[in-house]
Amino acid sequence: MSTIQFQRVTIIGLGHIGSSIARAVKQLGLAGELVTTDASAAIRKRAAEIGLGDRVAETNADAVRDADLVIVCVPVGVCGKVAADIGAHLKAGAIVSDVGSVKSTVLREMSAHLPLNVHFIPAHPVAGTEDSGPDSGFAELFINRWCILTPPPDADPTAVEKLATLWRTIGANVEIMTAEHHDMVLAVTSHLPHLIAYTIVGTADELENVTQAEVLKFSAGGFRDFTRIAASDPTMWRDIFLANKDAVLEMLGAFQEDLSKLTRAIRRGDGEVLFDHFTRTRAIRRGIVNLGQDAAGADFGRPHAHLPPQKS
Amino acid sequence: MSTIQFQRVTIIGLGHIGSSIARAVKQLGLAGELVTTDASAAIRKRAAEIGLGDRVAETNADAVRDADLVIVCVPVGVCGKVAADIGAHLKAGAIVSDVGSVKSTVLREMSAHLPLNVHFIPAHPVAGTEDSGPDSGFAELFINRWCILTPPPDADPTAVEKLATLWRTIGANVEIMTAEHHDMVLAVTSHLPHLIAYTIVGTADELENVTQAEVLKFSAGGFRDFTRIAASDPTMWRDIFLANKDAVLEMLGAFQEDLSKLTRAIRRGDGEVLFDHFTRTRAIRRGIVNLGQDAAGADFGRPHAHLPPQKS
């Protein structure tokens, strides 16, 4: 018995996420044929060189012809445009999905261009590294990560289940929620952390009394942890903040209140407020490690060199 | 020829840093005798069980008798108290150092209790994980990390060099600067990042519209990176913020200005400001990795599971 789940799968956009899905689908043999494409000619060329898909199509319209599943893996700001490209070329009954980090705007902007005879089921795999581009993806990226589906209320349960099965097969856990709730949850677990990291890395870069060389050298005191997510793809993240503006601003408000509380405690020398806060946050780390959502080892499991053997 | 650098080394405080130094000194045979102690009877007992030092002393005063090098590895808030404990019991010509993350207050508070006939050379190894306690240390912790020495202007160059040699031998690079400059540099590379991480982890913990379970589950979108440093020792970090108040508040001011700039850009939908900022911060990550101050692999080198072999 074959493990083929869809006769033809099309992946549009071969960045970190799209190329990872392509690798996983291919490695597990989940598609009868895997067709890929990208807006960039250089990336299409690279995809053909490294074998990302059985066929690399030249246009979005061509790529989706006769596809049973289309996954749009582009920055959320261009999801609407891609939907406009493909809307008239989709097969009746096809499942169309995406991987965007914001769901309400994507749902609205893509729906406007998709015909009623396809199943549109937005998705967001909560996974990724700071790298981008077709060479950075890997088939194992989604293992034990969550993929959130945000089907519209009238979505066909069979189509939802088919998409969920694909995500589970490539290693993800699947959760279903509304687009609005997704955007609130991700604003705190992903968008606000990125905004804060982008901010502090920028702050450290333009100080008057500390040089950039010093910031880099002594970054192991904590700063380096922030630089990883502040190295994420600028286009992707610009689009996320613009698309999820309201939820991000709401979370920022809560963050600012809490930062004011701790700033006041430092200014007043109130050690008890600081100690209580720091004790509470320590427990949260344990919860994440226990859920398998981070490495159990200290320091994210970063590697260490060895000391030379003892001389005598 | 022996590699012994000091006839007797005393380490006071057997948390993450103190126990790591003890392990490295012992493993490399750098001390004729290694004496250790801790304010906690439970930790002294544990230190004896796991062999942290040739002898575990019961009191600070007893521990430093006849020591050629004393390294005080306690939270910065109690460095002055430890100096008061040991001042009258130090051997003439001994070198006294510490590992505190703040140097101006430690220099002031310890100096007041140390006799003029010892060499006091404050130090700060910029290394550590989120773990604490005597079992969490390891001999390799300082390899390729920086240890900053902040000797007073009248310090004996020979004593400074002896201490620097020990740090280099256990793997660190040594840099010398004033205590004031150290405190400004660490405010941005370590103290502000910790404060921000402590804040956002607290914020995520008490939202009304997103549950704590959801925050933990979907933390791989960025949030989990912050929880590591927000899991650091609460006592240590309370003391750091109280001791380095002025520099931390100055850096917070710069951070707030930059956060306001990005918040305004989001509110106004100004994608260009966001894109330019995010592009600039991406380069900083590369600088840190190139300097060997972080893992070169994506995602801090976090491990990934494997997909099941393809079925057929």
Query: What domains, with CATH codes, occur in chain B?
Result: 6-177 (3.40.50.720), 182-268 (1.10.3660.10)
CA distances from A230 to A283, B98, B152, B286 (A): 25, 33, 37, 11
The interface residues of chain A toward chain B in range 214-273, judged by CB-CB distance below 8 A, are 214-232, 234-235, 237-239, 241-242, 245, 248-249, 251-252, 254-255, 258-259, 262-263, 266-267, 269, 271
Does residue A169 contact residue A4 with C-beta atoms inside 8 Å?
Answer: no
For the segment A26-44, what is each residue's pLDDT rounded down to a tens digit? 999 999 999 999 999 999 9
Beta carbons of B126 and A188 less than 8 Å apart: no
Q: How high is the mean pLDDT of chain A? A: 95
For the segment A169-187, what is each residue's pLDDT rounded down to a tens digit? 999 999 999 999 999 999 9
- In angstroms, rounded to a whole number, what is the distance separating the alpha carbons of residues B65 and B51? 20
pLDDT of residue A302: 87
pLDDT of residue B208: 87
DSSP B189: I
Task: Tell me how far the alpha carbon of residue A117 is from its chain's centroid.
Answer: 28
Beta carbons of B222 and A229 less than 8 Å apart: yes
The interface residues of chain B toward chain A in range 130-189, judged by CB-CB distance below 8 A, are 130-131, 136, 138-141, 143-146, 148, 170-171, 175, 184-186, 188-189
CA distances from A216 to A220, A225, B146, B184, B287 (A): 8, 12, 11, 14, 7
- In the structure encoding, which two tokens stand for residue A18, read together? 């799209």
ipTM of the complex: 0.93
Q: CA geometry: angle at A304 spanning A300 and A305, to 5°?
A: 170
pTM: 0.92
pLDDT of residue B306: 85
pLDDT of residue A206: 87
pLDDT of residue B312: 45
pLDDT of residue B261: 96
pLDDT surpassing 50 at residue A151? yes
pLDDT of residue A310: 59
For the segment A192-214, what is each residue's pLDDT rounded down to a tens digit? 999 999 999 999 988 989 999 99
CB atoms within 10 A of CB A157: 8
Beta carbons of A299 and B228 less than 8 Å apart: yes
In B, which residues are within 8 Å of A298 by CB distance? 129-131, 136
CB neighbours of A284 closer than 8 A, spacing ≥ 6?
A: B201, B204, B205, B212, B215, B216, B227, B230, B231
CB atoms within 10 A of CB B285: 22
pLDDT tier, A1 (very low <50, low <70, confident <90, very high otherwise): very low
Intervals of chain B under pLDDT 70? 1-2, 309-312
Q: Which of A205, A259, A239 is nearest to B281 (CA)?
A: A205
Task: Tell me how far the alpha carbon of residue B166 is from its chain's centroid.
Answer: 17
- In the structure encoding, which two tokens stand for residue A181, read together? 């709730």
pLDDT of residue A306: 85
Element (H, E) at B23: helix B16-28
For the segment A220-234, what is each residue's pLDDT rounded down to a tens digit? 999 999 999 999 999
Element (H, E) at A271: helix A271-290
In B, which residues are within 8 Å of A186 by CB distance? 218, 221
Size of interface A-B (CB pairs under 8 A): 405
For the segment A127-148, what is each residue's pLDDT rounded down to a tens digit? 999 999 999 999 999 999 999 9
In B, which residues are within 8 Å of A245 by CB distance? 266-267, 269
Report, as an integer, the average pLDDT of A285-309.
87
